Amino acid sequence: MRERAITGVYETVLYADDVEAMKAFYEDVLGLRLVDGPDELSAAFRLPDGGVLLVFHPGRSGQPSRAVPSHGAHGTGHVAFRIPPGTHDEWRHALLEHGVVVEREVEWPRGGRSLYVRDPAGNSVELTADEIWPA
């Protein structure tokens, strides 16, 4: 197994009926780098660590006739992003400037904290600089 072992997540996916609104949020508010779209189907953002965040219109990505297997979820998803240590206050300020309400701030039992906001589709977006899960 070791030789073929998965090394990490490459694509993380969120869904939204309004892909354009998601583009505005993830690019302008969160500062992600758009590398594809937005169009009626999707938008793609490249993260500094090489990963990719994809936003799909679930009705369109769920069509069976696509070149790739169909997928599409409804409801509110969740993603957590890594931010540099010591930037929580700066983020709180920047989110406020964009009129984005911090829904909750959580202090974790083993130390560290997270800021939670909602994207335009209602997905729960978390920003943290800390290790929340066991190593």
Sites of contact with a second copy (CB under 8 A):
1, 3-13, 15, 30-32, 35-36, 44, 46-54, 56, 58, 61-62, 67-84, 87, 90-91, 94, 103-104, 106, 114, 116, 118, 123-124, 126-128, 132-135
Least spacing, CB of residue 75 vs a second copy, in Å: 4
Give least dist CB 94 to a second copy, A.
Answer: 7
For a second copy, the closer CB: 40 or 105: 105
User: Distance of CA 78 to CAs 14, 34, 39, 68, 97, Å?
Assistant: 8, 20, 22, 23, 23
* Distance separating alpha carbons of residues 5 and 126, to the nearest angstrom: 28
User: Least distance (Å) from a second copy to the CB of residue 70?
Assistant: 7
Calculate the alpha carbon distances from 2 to 5, 108, 134 in Å.
5, 33, 21
